[in-house]
Each structure stands twice: as structure tokens, then as C-alpha cells.
Structure 1
């Protein structure tokens, strides 16, 4: 579970971006404090997230000092500032959502994800979510199952929003083939994947076939998220929590890995044909 004593994901992102802009401007903390006529402590606390979240006026003042004049990046960072203190829908599902991943997911402009074992959460059908919840927990109260399904549905609403992210999903064939054991869920899930891939509205779905053999993605799933006003983030899901990777070399490594997996996958048309065939299987 996330540590309540730590700054929120959005506030950490805001702090890190402001620090990065200061460094890019060639300014020290003392320079920034002098330019804004604030104390060094105030600027430092904003950058570490220790201080209560900065106001929109303060963020705009820092962006002015750092010479950030790109309107899109300025407004995106201001939007993060406004959202940093707000509680999102996910706070109501803290019992079934172990960390702050939905915060980043909802802010992303692009999401690239690879899954070797399960269907990615944003494209899971209700029947699949229920099956997964029951399988993962062996015995679970029906009320808890419903909360898991509802939380997943709320996550998926970002794909219907005005500012929905570009989603590129690569799924290992094993994650789909094991669904044959539950024919009804298999038909529903395979058809849904084929439908969204066919639709062509910002969602790309590709399947890594068994014929690809052992490949670099065999070590596990990951999600690479891009943002309008912040550096990319890689998310690695664990059993009860997740790990966020933000170093440049880590981002490059996982972007290269994703590109490699795309190259080993069936193309979109072939993937859709494969999924349609799976959905028709007895």
C-alpha cells in the first residue's frame, strides 16, 4: 500500500519537474530564491514536496523565472498543480487498488504496455475481471468481487474521455490461450480486444505469437507512460504494490524493450484475425 506520509504521485511529479526546469535554466536554489524574492527554504520545500502543495500563482512564477514559455507545458503543469490536492475516484477503492498507479494512468497522454500472463487492465471485460479476482484470491466475498469490477470499470473510463491517451498494447499469446479453459469469458474477452483494435480510435493491439519463441519480454509485464508536461514513467506491477521507474536510462531500456516486442508481434490485422479465431473456438 502507498505510504500516507509520502507526497502524492502528482505532487512528486510537480516537484521533480520544477527542479528539472530550474537546473535546465542553470539556476541554483539561491538564484531561484533571489529571482522570486522567496526564501531558499521555500523553493527547496516546493522541490522536495515537503511543503504543502504550491499554488498556481507560485508555480507560474517559477516557470517565468526558469524561462518556460511553451504554453502546452505551462498549462499541463498548472493542471497538475490544481489536481495535486484533489482526491480522485481511486481513493474510494483503496482496498482493491494497492498504489497510486491510476493517478499517473489518468494523466498520461500515451500508454504502452506489455503483458505476458494477463490481459491489460484497461482492456479487461467484466467477466474477465471477475474471473481474475476469484482466481487470484481463491475465496472472495461477492461484494469484494463487485468492487474490483467497479474499480476496473472506473479506470477504463479514461479511454472514453475527451483527452484519452494513445494506448498501445502488446499481449503474449499465452495470456489469451489460457482463456480457452473458460469459453464464455474467452469469447467475450477475445472479441473485445479485436473490436477495439479494429476500431482504430487510438488503441493498438498486437499479439506475440508462440512462434516468436523465447523473447526479451519473458521476464515480466511493464507499463510505459508518457505525459504532456513531465518525463515518462515506467510502472512495474508487483503482487501487492508497484514500482515506479523514472531514470532516463531506465526509460530508454524499457522503450527499446517495447519496440523489440512490437517487432516480434503479429501486425494489427494478423492480431485481429487471431483474436477472432480464438473467439469462435468451441
Structure 2
């Protein structure tokens, strides 16, 4: 029977991690359940976030089975399980569990984002992303290459069959800031125009002329999910941590911010014309 309550961020995260670990070990649900000494239905409920908690002993069996030996990662998984019933999570584990945002993006049926400083990650070209990472003082070329590859992989959700709807409000300053070089920025604007032509993507340019607007406090992403029992998630990020919010009053606040900023923005058609106009200036 389906869970009569919405899985929290922590519980969904724990379930996704356990599914991923089992898949990496190339085990079926039945094989993993047998080896862990538990019923297939019980493991299925854990992996589908239908169990409110996962007993510590059960989690240890699964982590042992999946050969998770790193103490910090195991500790993070136990923290997820222990606090699974609580909402509103300051994630301290984004380096240990880096797939958090990508997994939620992949599950979402709709994404709405406001970006004030750089273009949204799902709309960046590899060269633009490379320049952003270097500006953020990532110096190791291999690490930069890995980050760029991960970002490009995330972008696949917008081109898959039955993609999520994607609405992006982009501040005019973001479009006018030359990132990398004029050539890189020109290619980025061309890519942005191509993405804006996709039926599931709407881009709204928030012009300087809008003045003060409801989203002046910073960038954010709102993710909605196809199962109405799953609460929407608002995502914010800074250099040291990530924040996932899902309380009703928090989501209402971000919905209001997005709607207010959208009302101050150009329409998608006007925005595309505006982007093409900036592109012409970069080519002159």
C-alpha cells in the first residue's frame, strides 16, 4: 500500500542512495533482500521511500552488502536514516553524496529557477561551465573536467522523452557578463536561444528596467514532482553547503518570489528577441 504521507527529502535521498548502491553491485531486489536476510517487500518499501525509518542494524547490513566501507559515508547514511522523519534540511554531505540535486532533478516533472549571476547549470555550454568553475578557484584540471562532465550529464533531463517543464528567469546582467571570452559567451547565447526553442523550456529575461523585484535576495530552484504526495522542494546553494526546503510555508514563499519575478520579466518571445539582440552585439 502506498505511503499516505509525503516522503521527506532525507527519506527520498536515503532511498535513492540505496537503490544506486544496489544497482552498482548489479543485484536484483530479490538477490539483495536474500543476502541481507530480509523480505523483498521490506527492501522494496525502503527503496521506494515507503518506510518512515530504516533500523540501524538493517542499514548496516545493506551497507556491508554493498561494500560501503568509508566511515564518513556510512555516518552520513545513518544520519539520513535517523532524521528521516524531519523536514527542512541543511545538507552537510554534498561532497560525500554529490548526486542529491541531480537525482531530484531527474525525478521532477517541473523545474523553475531564478538566476542572478550566472546562467542556470542546465543551460550552460561545457566551455561556459569550465570558465565558471575556474572563476570559482577550482584549479585542478581533472576536477574541472569531472564537474563539467557531470553538469552536461544533468542537462540530459531536458532532452529525454517526457522531459520536465523548465522555466528559467535570467537576470539581464547574467546575459551581458562576458564569461570566459567573447567567443565562449557568443556560443553560450546561441545555445541559450536554441534551448529556448524547445517546447518544454521557457526563458524569461528579467531586465534592468524592472528595478527592484521580489527575487532580489538571490538565486533558487523550485522542483515539483509528479506524485502529489511528494512535496515540492526549494533548493539554494552557497560555497559551503546546500539547502533543501519543503515546508509548505517555505514553498509558498518561493512560489511567490518566482511568480513576482516572472511578472517583472519579458515574455519568452520577447526574451528570445532580446537574447538574439545581445548576441548580435557580441558578434560585431
Q: Give me the whole-angstrom Cα distance separating, in 2, the residues matched to 1:121 and 1:96.
A: 20
Structure 2 matches for 1:111-126, cutoff 5 A?
Answer: 111-126=111-126
Change beyond 3 A, Cα 1:203–1:265: same
Q: Give me the whole-angstrom Cα distance separating, in 1, the residues matched to 2:151 and 2:120.
A: 11
> What is the deviation of 1:144?
1.7
Aligned pairs, how many?
206
> What is the deviation of 1:177?
1.1
Q: Give me the whole-angstrom Cα distance separating, in 1, the residues matched to 2:209 and 2:14.
A: 41
Q: Give me the whole-angstrom Cα distance separating, in 2, the residues matched to 1:191 and 1:141.
A: 28
Which residue, 25, 31, 48 being the options, matches 2:53? 48
- Show CA shifts across 1:109-145 (max 9, x none): 00000001110010001111011011001x5122222
Corresponding position: 1:222 with 2:220: yes
Structure 2 matches for 1:71-220, cutoff 5 A?
Answer: 98=98, 100-137=100-137, 140-179=139-178, 182-199=181-198, 201-220=199-218
Q: Which runs of 5+ in 1 are unaligned?
A: 1-5, 13-37, 54-93
- Show CA shifts across 1:235-265 (max 9, x none): 1112133100000111111111111111000
Q: Report the counterpart of residue 239 of structure 1 in structure 2.
A: 239
Structure 2 matches for 1:242-253, cutoff 5 A?
Answer: 242-253=242-253
> What is the deviation of 1:100?
1.1
SS at match of 1:216: coil
Deviates more, 1:144-153 or 1:113-122: 144-153
Q: Report the counterpart of residue 27 of structure 1 in structure 2.
A: none
Tell me the TM-score normalized by structure 2: 0.66
Q: Report the counterpart of residue 266 of structure 1 in structure 2.
A: 266
- Show CA shifts across 1:24-76 (max 9, x none): xxxxxxxxxxxxxx9xxx9xx921344658xxxxxxxxxxxxxxxxxxxxxxx
- Show CA shifts across 1:255-277 (max 9, x none): 11111111000111111111111
SS at match of 1:188: helix
Q: Give me the whole-angstrom Cα distance separating, in 1, the residues matched to 2:96 and 2:273.
A: 34
* Native 8 Å contact 2:205 2:271 kept in 1: yes
* Native 8 Å contact 1:205 1:268 kept in 2: yes
Change beyond 3 A, Cα 1:181–1:127: closer
Change beyond 3 A, Cα 1:206–1:97: farther
Corresponding position: 1:11 with 2:9: no
- Cα-Cα RMSD: 2.7
Q: Give me the whole-angstrom Cα distance separating, in 1, the residues matched to 2:118 and 2:106.
A: 21
Change beyond 3 A, Cα 1:240–1:253: same
SS at match of 1:157: helix
